[in-house]
């Protein structure tokens, strides 16, 4: 989604804002803009493109002033144009505002504001905020923020700069966090916006407004009642958000997965016990997530059924309003989310909560909304994931799911945990064979991925990676479904990847490979055992514990998608049209 940042302090604001926007660009990135306050006036520069490109064209980082706000946009209302880029100003240019979210009643507000003589410069829903603030500004900044927030329907995180040099923020169903530095304050969508300058954060709650005025901070609710929130020390370090020697964050994060598997094992035992006790006592278990995290829900369901004979239902979060209709106080919803901010996931949680159910969560961002509203929350502990397409957070989720299964099902997976980390290291080191396959596949227009049982969610996840990173049509298919339709698509120039370790599914999937090859398609096997039917073989290590195979199967698929993205000159860290944290419905 969009990222927003505000700074008020002793240093030049513009270079800090540009740097912060660069670090948060993964949240959304079709346009960029900054407003600074200097010598009594507000200056705005904005345009379409990525942060560095727009900065190069407009010299944003040269703008004067020690107070400012910034934004990277991921378009929702209105096309990708310079005018629609944030910040938006009101008629008198005495206010500039940046917004993340959707204002549902913007049409109605816009008509009202036009009727009152306001002129609009953009097609966005966000611009109404600037005009509403302007109407109430004569009563003071605090009044302006309160009255404006009360008029807005939908979800929003707002940062505004006023002509008196005040910076304000407000949050409703979109994240907003204050960074407290020695020489100033930040108001940001994400701690990554200010981690370089301070690790002290105040997480705003829904319905909070903050004002940074003459270097002091005030927080209150939409009724103006004061609120006190603690200052939290952020656990992530700056080193975690640097690319280091890697060309892209995505590659760095793929390479970090040996550690991911280890770190996911480091859990607070009291929290693990609480999580598992709630799960064990549930009458009904539902597991939900979006995108990659949804694929983890499928693995979790499988693990519970296989090792604990525990029945659970998975629900893709965007469908939850149609599926989570019969929960009650004896039900549990397990929500899996890297960011803990995905709107669809938070909607599922609200639905479940309203029916009296307990909420368990698995997150990577432990300060996220999801973590804070859960009855028990476990962390994947894999550090910040910047690449838009999830990689290490997925294997972190799987490793944590293994831990939970092991704890719930009496150490059923005790063997080989240390070996899994070594196996992951081997797969990561074996990128050469994947690169060779990528060369063969670089012009493929259709790629199918087949797997059975636990390998089917990996077929889905591999297809998602190929779509996200390499913009290629890819489909994950349950291997047994081949004969029910997909076989009709198999012909020369079609590539099919069989996810096929040497376990109980091996022989059936080999039979499918023969059926495919007989139709002229090219067959790639991801397996610990080679077979004549494969045109290309990507070797993975043999694992005694078959349940761990998904972790070592998905890594070659991540590498393949990364390589195909490079071959197409696509930026693997920032795939077109996508955002890492989708905080709108
Ligand atoms: C977006 C990202 C995906 C991610 C999904 C769920 O669509 O582009 O990579 O899997 O959100 O994100 P979450 O943070 O909830 O795991």
| CATH 3.40.50.10490 residue window(s) in the chain | 242-413, 429-585
Going by pLDDT thresholds of 50, 70 and 90, the confidence category of residue 465 is very high
Determine the average pLDDT of the residues in 161-173. 95
Residue 258, token pair as written in the block = 């040996």
Give pLDDT, residue 74.
86
Q: Is the CB of 293 inside a 6 Å radius of any atom of ligand 1?
A: yes
Q: Which CATH architecture has domain 242-413?
A: 3-Layer(aba) Sandwich (3.40)
Which of 120-134, 404-418, 556-570 comes out lowest in average pLDDT?
404-418
Q: Per-residue pLDDT for 281 more than 90?
A: yes
Q: Per-residue pLDDT for 184 more than 90?
A: yes
Mutation choice for ligand 1 from 26, 293, 576, CB with most ligand atoms inside 8 A: 293
Give pLDDT, residue 415.
63
Give pLDDT, residue 416.
62
Instruction: Render pLDDT for 412-434 as a digit per residue (tens, 0 to 9).
Output: 776 666 789 999 999 999 899 99
Given 2, 168, 276, 377, the catalytic residue: 2
- Alpha-carbon torsion (252, 257, 259, 260), positive or negative: positive
Mutation choice for ligand 1 from 320, 339, 392, 463, CB with most ligand atoms inside 8 A: 339
Q: Which CATH architecture has domain 3-234?
A: 4-Layer Sandwich (3.60)
DSSP per residue, 309-376: ----EEEEGGGHHHH--S--TTEEEEEEESSS--HHHHHHHHHHHHTT-EEEEEES-TTSHHHHH-SE
Determine the average pLDDT of the residues in 167-186. 95
Give pLDDT, residue 242.
79
Instruction: Round to whole Å and give the CA distance between 564 and 466.
Output: 8
Determine the average pLDDT of the residues in 496-514. 96
Q: Per-residue pLDDT for 450 more than 70?
A: yes
Going by pLDDT thresholds of 50, 70 and 90, the confidence category of residue 582 is confident
Q: Per-residue pLDDT for 235 more than 80?
A: no
Q: Per-residue pLDDT for 121 more than 90?
A: yes
Which of 117-126, 336-345, 549-558, 573-582 comes out lowest in average pLDDT?
573-582
Instruction: Round to whole Å and give the CA distance between 146 and 152.
Output: 10
Q: Is 243 a catalytic residue?
A: no
Cβ atoms of 274 and 376 within 8 Å: the answer is yes
Going by pLDDT thresholds of 50, 70 and 90, the confidence category of residue 25 is confident
Give pLDDT, residue 244.
84
Q: Per-residue pLDDT for 561 more than 90?
A: yes
What is the distance in A from the centroid of ligand 1 to the CA of 582?
7
Q: Is the CB of 389 inside a 6 Å radius of any atom of ligand 1?
A: yes
CATH superfamily of 429-585: Glucose-6-phosphate isomerase like protein; domain 1 (3.40.50.10490)
What is the distance in A from the centroid of ligand 1 to the CA of 390?
7
Q: Per-residue pLDDT for 1 more than 80?
A: no
The mean pLDDT value of the chain amounts to: 94
- Alpha-carbon torsion (197, 17, 15, 10), positive or negative: negative
Determine the average pLDDT of the residues in 87-107. 95
Cβ atoms of 459 and 433 within 8 Å: the answer is no
Q: Per-residue pLDDT for 240 more than 80?
A: no
Give pLDDT, residue 414.
60
Going by pLDDT thresholds of 50, 70 and 90, the confidence category of residue 238 is low
Q: Per-residue pLDDT for 28 more than 90?
A: no
Determine the average pLDDT of the residues in 44-66. 96
Given 66, 252, 465, 580, the catalytic residue: 580
Cβ atoms of 552 and 540 within 8 Å: the answer is yes
Q: Is the CB of 364 inside a 6 Å radius of any atom of ligand 1?
A: no
Cβ atoms of 364 and 335 within 8 Å: the answer is no
Q: Per-residue pLDDT for 241 more than 90?
A: no
Cβ atoms of 391 and 255 within 8 Å: the answer is no
The pLDDT > 70 percentage for the chain reads: 98
Instruction: Render pLDDT for 356-368 as a digit per residue (tens, 0 to 9).
Output: 999 999 999 998 8
Length reported for the chain:
585
Instruction: Round to whole Å and give the CA distance between 269 and 536.
Output: 44
| CATH 3.60.20.10 residue window(s) in the chain | 3-234
> What beta strand segments (E) does 200-325 contain?
200-203, 208-213, 216-221, 232-233, 284-289, 313-316
Give pLDDT, residue 104.
95
């Amino acid at each position: 989604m969009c990222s927003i940042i505000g700074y008020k302090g002793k240093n030049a604001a513009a270079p800090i804002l540009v740097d912060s926007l660069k670090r948060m660009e993964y949240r959304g990135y079709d346009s960029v803009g900054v407003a600074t306050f200097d010598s009594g006036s507000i200056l705005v520069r904005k345009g379409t493109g990525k942060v560095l490109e727009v900065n190069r064209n407009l010299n944003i980082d040269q703008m004067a002033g020690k107070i400012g706000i910034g934004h990277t946009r991921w378009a929702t209302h209105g096309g990708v144009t310079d005018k629609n880029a944030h910040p938006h100003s009101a008629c008198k240019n005495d206010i500039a505002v940046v917004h993340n979210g959707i204002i549902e009643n913007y049409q109605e507000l816009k008509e009202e504001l036009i009727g009152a003589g306001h002129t609009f410069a953009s097609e966005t829903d966000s611009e109404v905020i600037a005009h509403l603030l302007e109407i109430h500004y004569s009563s003071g900044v605090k009044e302006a923020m309160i009255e404006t927030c009360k008029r807005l329907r939908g979800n929003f995180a707002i940062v505004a700069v006023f002509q008196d040099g005040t910076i304000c923020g407000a949050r409703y169903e979109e994240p907003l966090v204050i960074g407290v530095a020695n020489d100033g304050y930040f108001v940001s969508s994400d701690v990554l916006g200010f981690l370089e300058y301070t690790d002290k954060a105040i997480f705003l709650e829904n319905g909070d407004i903050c004002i940074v005025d003459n270097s002091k901070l005030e927080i209150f609710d939409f009724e103006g009642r004061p609120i006190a929130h603690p200052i939290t020390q952020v656990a992530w370090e700056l080193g975690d958000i640097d690319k280091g020697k890697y060309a892209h964050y995505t590659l760095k994060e793929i390479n970090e997965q040996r550690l991911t598997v280890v770190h996911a094992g480091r859990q607070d035992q009291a929290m693990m016990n609480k999580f598992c006790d709630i799960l064990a006592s549930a009458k009904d278990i539902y597991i939900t997530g979006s995108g990659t995290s949804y694929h983890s829900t499928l693995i979790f369901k499988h693990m519970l059924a296989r090792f604990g004979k525990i029945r659970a239902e998975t629900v893709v979060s965007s469908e939850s309003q149609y599926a989570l209709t019969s929960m009650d106080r004896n039900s549990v919803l397990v929500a899996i989310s890297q960011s803990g901010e995905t709107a669809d996931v938070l909607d599922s949680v609200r639905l479940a909560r309203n029916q009296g159910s307990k909420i368990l969560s698995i997150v990577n961002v432990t300060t996220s909304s999801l973590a804070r509203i859960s009855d028990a929350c476990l962390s994947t502990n894999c550090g910040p994931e910047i690449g838009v397409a999830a990689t290490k957070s997925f294997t972190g989720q799987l490793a944590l799911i293994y831990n939970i299964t092991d704890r719930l099902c009496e150490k059923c997976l005790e063997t080989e945990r240390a070996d899994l980390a070594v196996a992951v290291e081997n797969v990561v080191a074996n990128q050469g064979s994947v690169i060779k396959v990528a060369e063969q596949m670089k012009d493929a227009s259709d790629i199918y991925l087949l797997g059975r049982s636990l390998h089917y969610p990996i077929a889905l996840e591999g297809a998602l990676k190929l779509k996200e990173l390499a913009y290629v049509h890819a489909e994950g298919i349950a291997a047994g479904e081949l004969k029910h339709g997909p076989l009709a698509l198999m012909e020369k120039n079609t590539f099919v990847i069989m996810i096929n370790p040497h376990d109980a599914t091996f022989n059936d999937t080999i039979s499918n490979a023969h059926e495919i090859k007989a139709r002229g398609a090219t067959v790639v096997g991801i397996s610990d055992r080679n077979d004549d039917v494969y045109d290309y073989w990507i070797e993975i290590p043999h694992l005694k514990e078959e349940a761990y195979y998904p972790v070592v199967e998905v890594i070659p698929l991540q590498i393949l998608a990364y390589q195909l993205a490079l071959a197409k000159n696509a930026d693997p860290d920032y795939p077109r049209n996508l955002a890492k944290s989708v905080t709108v419905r």
